[in-house]
């Protein structure tokens, strides 16, 4: 019997932790879409879940996914096409799971590769922030240059929310940035 | 997995060190993961993402090479190169120095 849970996460590590908590309770994720998770009953703690932001060209991506399969990990949902949609922001988040009986499951096991993964996430947020801030300021500028005409009020109506959205992405990037700094400091003293 | 840009003296990560040692025998990715775990008595568990990144970097550097597999073989097999072997040897010299100095100064046969 499947169970649907509607929930939304900003922090992928919290999402991952939640999926593993659900798995520990005997609910294994089998399918997901925007803020919607479908679970199926399974043995308690049968699977370990991991999330990854992929940034590879399609050829390399299929190479990588095959590599993951070889190591006993499977994509959720099973047999998903190479480009699984997960968020509006980007389409390359993937969820993997592996049977806990095969031992601890981690995608990144050393500091360098963890930093790289966080940096990918950070870059996505920053590019989105930059894009929104540029579009937003452009709208505000247009409005200020054309104070005489009422039609340019539309630029204000468009510009302000877009700028707010841009700031939102900056805000999202901050915790990721802190994690990168923490790992880099760690790397100064140990591998 | 970033490697130091200094091939001669930079320390290898323990993952890379064990990957190179494993590849004295040709192996595919999953085999490497298992072998590294075995060599390190379950201590080093390479993540698949980390291993994948390390393998492409090592091939780029010419420390390991991709073996031409059969047409139907989907799994890629890798093997260490002569350059790779010399890298491992200089790493062993470096580790040896660390151990020798540790034993000399701190004492004890750790």
- Alpha carbon of A76 to those of A46, A138, B74: distances in Å? 14, 41, 22
| Pairwise CB contact (< 8 Å): B52 & A110 | no
pLDDT value for B108: 66
CB within 8 Å of chain A, chain B residues 76-105? none
A74 strand-pairing partners: A97
CB within 8 Å of chain B, chain A residues 95-154? 103-104, 106-110, 112-113, 116-117
The token duo for A87 is: 């968020």
The better pLDDT of the pair B93, B71 is held by B93
pLDDT band at B7 (very low <50, low <70, confident <90, very high): very low
pLDDT value for A58: 73
State the nearest Cα–Cα gap between B95 and chain A, in angstroms. 15
pLDDT value for A190: 84
Nearest to A109 among B47, B74, B75 (CB): B47
Rounded CA separation A111/A117 (Å): 10
pLDDT value for B84: 97
pLDDT band at B3 (very low <50, low <70, confident <90, very high): low
The structural domains of chain B, with segments of one domain joined by +, span 14-106
Residue A26 makes CB contacts below 8 A (sequence gap 6+) with A41, A42, A43, A44, A45, A46
The better pLDDT of the pair A92, B90 is held by B90
Q: Does domain B14-106 have CATH number 1.10.600.10?
A: no
Nearest CA in chain A to B29: A67
Compute the Cα dihedral for A161, A162, A166, A168 and give only its sign.
Answer: positive
| Pairwise CB contact (< 8 Å): B29 & A67 | yes
Question: Does B60 reach chain A within 8 Å, measured CB to CB?
Answer: no
| Pairwise CB contact (< 8 Å): A108 & B49 | yes
Classify the phi-psi angles of A183: left when phi > 0, otherwise alpha if psi is within -120 to 50, otherwise beta: alpha
pLDDT value for A79: 67
Chain A interface disruption, residue of B49, B52, B55, B66, most A CBs within 10 A: B49
Compute the Cα dihedral for B100, B106, B109, B110 and give only its sign.
Answer: negative
| Pairwise CB contact (< 8 Å): A67 & B1 | no
Burial B14-30 (b: 16+ CB within 10 A, else e): ebbbbbbbbbeeebbbb
| Pairwise CB contact (< 8 Å): B50 & A73 | no
8 A C-beta contact, residue A4 and residue A31: no
Q: At what angle do helices B48-61 and A58-70 cross, to 10 degrees?
A: 120
Report whether pLDDT(B22) > 90.
yes
Nearest to A108 among B11, B33, B50 (CB): B50
Rounded CA separation A138/A140 (Å): 6
**With a cut of 50, which residues of chain A have pLDDT below it?**
84-90
Over residues B27-55, mean pLDDT = 94
Query: Distance of alpha carbon B20 from its chain centroid, rounded?
Result: 3
Ranges of beta strands (E only) in chain B are 27-28, 64-67, 77-80
Rounded CA separation B76/A104 (Å): 24
Rounded CA separation B89/B82 (Å): 11
pLDDT band at B91 (very low <50, low <70, confident <90, very high): very high
pLDDT value for A81: 56
8 A C-beta contact, residue A95 and residue A47: no
Nearest to A109 among B15, B30, B74 (CB): B15
8 A C-beta contact, residue A50 and residue A10: no
**Complex prediction ipTM:** 0.82
């Amino acid at each position: 019997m499947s169970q649907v849970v509607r929930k939304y996460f900003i922090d992928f590590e919290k999402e991952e932790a939640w999926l593993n908590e659900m798995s520990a309770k005997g609910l294994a994720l089998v399918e997901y879409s925007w803020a919607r998770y479908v679970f199926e009953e399974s043995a308690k703690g049968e699977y370990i879940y991991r999330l990854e932001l992929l940034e590879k060209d399609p050829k390399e991506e299929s190479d990588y996914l095959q590599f993951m399969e070889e190591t006993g990990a499977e994509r959720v949902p099973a047999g998903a096409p190479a480009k699984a949609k997960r968020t509006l922001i980007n389409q390359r988040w993937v969820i993997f799971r592996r049977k806990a009986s095969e031992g601890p499951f981690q995608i990144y096991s050393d500091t360098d590769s963890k930093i790289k993964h966080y940096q990918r996430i950070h870059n996505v947020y920053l590019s989105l922030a930059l894009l929104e801030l540029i579009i937003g300021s452009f709208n505000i500028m247009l409005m200020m240059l054309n104070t005489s005409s009422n039609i340019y009020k539309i630029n204000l109506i468009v510009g302000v929310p877009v700028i707010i959205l841009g700031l939102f992405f900056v805000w999202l990037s901050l915790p990721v940035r802190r994690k990168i700094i923490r790992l880099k400091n760690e790397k100064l003293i140990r591998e | 997995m970033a490697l130091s840009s200094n091939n001669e003296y930079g320390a290898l990560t323990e993952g890379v060190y064990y990957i190179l040692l494993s590849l004295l025998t040709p192996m595919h990715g999953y085999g490497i993961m298992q072998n590294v775990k075995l060599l390190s008595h379950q201590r080093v568990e390479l993540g698949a993402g980390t291993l994948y990144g390390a393998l492409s970097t090592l091939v780029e550097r010419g420390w390991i090479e991709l073996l031409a597999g059969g047409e139907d073989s989907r799994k890629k097999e890798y093997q260490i190169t002569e350059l790779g072997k010399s890298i491992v040897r200089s790493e062993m010299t470096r580790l040896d120095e660390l151990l020798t100095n540790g034993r000399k100064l701190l004492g004890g046969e750790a």
